[in-house]
Structure 1
Amino acid sequence: MTAYPRAELEEMVERWLQANRDAEKEGNWPKFLGAMYTDDAEYRWNIGPNEEFVARSRKQIEEWALGVQMEGFEEWRYPYHRILIDEKQGEVIGLWRQVSPALREDGTHYEVAGIGGSWFRYGGNFKWEWQRDFFDLGNVKALFFELAADGKLDPAVKKKIGKLAKGQLLPGHERLRKQPGLWQKLKGLLAMVRIALFNQ
């Protein structure tokens, strides 16, 4: 961890927020955010107990995190509402929301419940060298189900969900450990049945 002047990190955050606003306005995430990362930057987030998204270079971040992953989310907004800066460690945490452009019958936007955020490590020269996003995956899935039921889930998102449902990994998706075999799954199911019977 490297210490940086507070003013430099504050300027980095302002540049980042403006790049996000520009990306939302044009619906083009790679164009505005790609240049905000070092060439060897790493960007990751968790997708449940056995899957992680990882991009290990600026090129992969542009193509996978800001490209493939953002297909179908070009019109979504991710407004930040809290920024915490630690200049001694050169780290920033930003808390944001995930707001769909689709409207419910009452006129409100579909929005992921709870809170999301990004944890950044600054690499100097107004670029991030590391980022990890965090969000409530259960709430994201619940909103996708709601959008699908109301006929408002973007076709590109449907296509990606379909691939994942078939066990196909999208670019950047990695398994954290070997998938359990049939016997392991049966043992787990039996254990759950025993717990359910015991708690009756």
Structure 2
Amino acid sequence: MPSFPRSELDEMVQRWLDANRRCEEAGDWRPLAELYTEDATYGWNVGPGQDFMAVGRDEIRDLVLGSEMGGLDGWTYPYQRVLVDDRAGEVVGFWKQIADAERPGGGAYEVAGIGGSWFRYGGDFRWSWQRDWFDLGNVTSLFVEMMKAGTLSEGMKRRLDRAASGERIPGYHPRGESPVPLW
């Protein structure tokens, strides 16, 4: 792993955070794809038997930032802390997941627990890979709560219907069979 100047990594993080805010405001995450190398990979675990992996900037744009973020329009992912390792060229960011819908008694719906992203920097102000983590049990619990309250967006209802259809969803692989390993 190459090392990078700390100032370059700090600038990359700031570019990333600024681009995230713009995408949240626009309700479109796809422009973030430009902050990845052409051959970047992006993945996460989806429980004991399944992983998600996108390979290449186009799949990241279409699958991660398009399909997988579909239905989360209006959600925000405020970063709580960012840690930079300039010797390894890696960054870890801890974020929250907050829905734009309000609870019947007031306050926002928020996924409990800790979410985060681990990035490897590829130079030229682009990530070469990203791995996310989140508490799938807490995410599921919140979606069920929102469904019962009638506050789940139409886009998220479509995503849940797609997941329940039993059809193969692009990017999802049996654990250990993704085109690029999580580790």
Both structures adopt the same fold (TM-score exceeding 0.5): yes
Are 2:58 and 1:59 aligned?
A: yes
In the aligned structure 1, how far is the partner of 2:25 from the partner of 2:156?
20
Are 2:116 and 1:94 aligned?
A: no
Are 2:169 and 1:161 aligned?
A: no
**Is this contact kept in 1: 2:46–2:136, CA < 8 A?**
yes
Q: Give how far 1:177 is off.
A: 6.1
Are 2:12 and 1:3 aligned?
A: no
2:173 match: secondary structure: strand
Unpaired runs of 5+ residues, structure 1, are 179-200
* Partner of residue 27, structure 2: 27
**Is this contact kept in 2: 1:163–1:169, CA < 8 A?**
no
Q: Deviation string for 1:70-93 (max 9, x for gaps)?
A: 111111000001000000000000
Matches within 5 A, 1:1-200: 1-31=1-31, 33-176=32-175
Q: Deviation string for 1:68-123 (max 9, x for gaps)?
A: 11111111000001000000000000000000000012220000001100000000
In the aligned structure 2, how far is the partner of 1:53 from the partner of 1:4?
29
In the aligned structure 2, how far is the partner of 1:177 from the partner of 1:94?
25
RCO comparison, higher one (Cα < 8 Å, 6+): 2
Q: TM-score, normalised on structure 1?
A: 0.86
In the aligned structure 2, how far is the partner of 1:104 from the partner of 1:36?
34
1:81 match: secondary structure: strand
Aligned length: 177
Q: Give how far 1:176 is off.
A: 1.8
Q: TM-score, normalised on structure 2?
A: 0.93
**What RMSD, in angstroms, separates the aligned Cα atoms of the two structures?**
1.2
- State the structure with more CA Rg: 1
Unpaired runs of 5+ residues, structure 2, are 178-183
